[in-house]
Amino acid sequence: MKVIRRDDRLWFSHRGERVQIEAWGKDALRIRATRYNWCSAENKALSEQILDRSADVKVSEDGLYGEISNGRLKVTVNENGVLRFYKDGVQFLQEYHRNYDFSASLHSICMKLEGRMYEPIVGGDYRATVRFEANDGERLYGMGTYQQPYLNLKGCTLELAQRNSQTSIPFVLSDAGYGFLWNHPGVGTATFGRNYTEWKAEQLKEIDYWITVGDTPKQIIENYTAVVGRAPVMSDDLLGLWQCKLRYRTQEEVLSVAREYHRRNIPLSVIVIDFFHWTRQGDWRFDPVYWPDPKAMCDELHSYGIRVAVSVWPSVDRKSENFEELYERGLLIRTEHGAAQTYDYQGDCVSIDVTNPEAQQFLWNKCMENYASYGIDMFWLDNCEPDYGVYDFRNFRYSIGTALEMTNVYPKMMAKTFYIGQKISGKNEICSLIRCGWVGSQKYGALLWSGDVNSTFESLKDQVIAGIEMGIAGIPWWNSDVGGFMTQDCYSDSFKELLVRWFEYAVFTPVLRMHGDRGPHDIPSLSDLDYGGGYLYTGHDNALWDYGEEVYEILLANLQTRLEMKPYLQKLYREASENGSPLIRAMFYEYPDDETCWEVEDQYMFGERYLVAPVLQAGALTRKVYVPQGVWREIHNGNVYEGGQWIEADAPLQYIPVLEKM
């Protein structure tokens, strides 16, 4: 064991392992460890320039002990290579160590378990495990979108991998006053157990994590987003209603819906053209049979003040006009075994490898030529996890490495492709609707949504949780499909109730967007061919007026509430860009000193002003709401409440409880 100081870094070697600790941002340190001779120069998620990396480093004369401090955070290492973490001199975290240790304050147990462990992969790198002692009673939050009803992640095991409706963003916030980023884009697991916390990677060259401290969640998230990036300010034109369905099959279908919104004098911010408007996957262009004049379509939509978004998938059908060139140039994701196929929905497909700059340029050039040049304003980057026919990450390889080591960064690279492409083409206000992301996706105008989720009240509760967790994980632009995506009978009374409750909730989320596959699938296709824009099924209509007059009047009234909030929404988006604050905020974000606010999981703050309590049960006409300190007014019925208590709030079908702080 030998601890030394190198510049402003603490460095030590221990049994063939090399560890480097350095200041990285405010009250923050970055820890890297490797079995190779040196740490890599890659910053991964830590993308922002940090000008001041000075730290206070102390090393004992015998080289068996060292410590490094940056502001309020200090890390020490003892003669066994065990790390301990201190905030203002008080220990809050310690590596898990069950091996020979002669320090009396540590466990001296001969289990041969250490805080950092490596399992060699024959012919390759390492599987690695990092463990920390669990803190009794600690509460943990963040990590992105997982379809589960738990806001406090203590006791949960989470897969570190991207899937449809799962977005893995490995940042966790603790009520002990720290934030922890697992700075590795590969597949693994995070386990927040009662006995220990464990981060596991299936393949890596170096362990890499970052940690910061603060007095409040707001301080911690500000420190975190300062090193991984923050969202730009969203365009004011996108703050109203977005209209979408599965799927508009023709140019005329899109225009007829837009014309009806215009006739009814209902402002529409965006209309979204969903998948299979194309000839084949990977052609990245409209089918001219059903979309004969995209420019004229865009011109008319723009005349109504509507922006136009179009779906882009990364999958490339072998029969696509672009497949051979992409394949020959090595711009597709590669398989390690078996057939060269990664995706099998409606075709034999391989996805483009957007980790490769050449592939990024190819994809953007096609979308510029075939979409943006006609006036398409925005892109819906669907299936961008990427969606695999089988999620066997051992079988896929990117230009930057294996899927096991790198796959989680793919959706971030997809967002970057369209952000940089549009920037170069002269566009300043950029927003891409996207199904997945990774740490820092917010930098590239990524508006995440929660994926293809079920149309149930249970799923609605999961989305409430997901929206809160995504904000903690650094992603302020987020939304969900109003009503859920998968519906068997969209005209049933039960679905109409769900749709209303979901819409009322979505009014108080960053983006309000109508979307879904509205069953039953009893609408004939437009073509007998097995390809092109006319052959695939479609769902039933999904505009505000398509569910009957009663539903229409409720949705319209709630949309008006949304439109009246536009100045407030503008303020929240500016704040997200300035300091990383999410729009959807856990109760404890605004009230960290209120113990109950750390426990409430089914309500949230929308910014600092509005307390939102979605209705999450069918048939419910009231619901319990916890009201924190202060005086609050319910915006719909005018009732006034003193804080610091639970109330039974009215929740007729026409609205959900929303309290404004007075």
Residue listed under structure tokens 């519906």: 487
Residue listed under structure tokens 């890596």: 204
* 3-state DSSP assignment of residue 580: coil
Among 398, 436, 470, 393, residue whose Cα is nearest residue 162 = 436
Residue 14 φ/ψ, nearest 5 degrees: -155, 110
Dihedral over alpha carbons 322, 323, 327, 328 (to 10 degrees): -60
Rounded distance, CA 95 to CA 110, Å? Answer: 16
- Which helix (H) or strand (E) element contains residue 303? helix 294-303
Determine the residue type at 99.
N
* 3-state DSSP assignment of residue 509: coil
Rounded distance, CA 517 to CA 539, Å? Answer: 5
Rounded distance, CA 45 to CA 23, Å? Answer: 16
How close are the terminal C-alpha atoms of the chain, in Å?
60
CB atoms within 10 A of CB 455: 24
Token pair recorded at residue 555: 């949705």
Residue listed under structure tokens 């609205």: 655
Rounded distance, CA 66 to CA 290, Å? Answer: 69
Rounded distance, CA 295 to CA 393, Å? Answer: 41
Determine the residue type at 217.
P
- Known catalytic residues? 382, 385, 452
The strand ranges marked E within 527-603 are 584-585
Q: Which residues of 537-549 are buried (b: 16+ CB within 10 A; e: fewer)?
A: ebbbbbbbbbbee
Rounded distance, CA 460 to CA 612, Å? Answer: 14
* 3-state DSSP assignment of residue 20: strand
Determine the residue type at 640.
V
318's CB contacts (< 8 A; 6+ apart) are: 347, 348, 349, 350
Token pair recorded at residue 423: 């920037």
Rounded distance, CA 319 to CA 333, Å? Answer: 17
Rounded distance, CA 307 to CA 300, Å? Answer: 10
Among 281, 411, 287, residue whose Cα is nearest residue 348 = 281
Rounded distance, CA 19 to CA 11, Å? Answer: 6
Beta carbons of 503 and 515 less than 8 angstroms apart: no
Beta carbons of 182 and 103 less than 8 angstroms apart: no
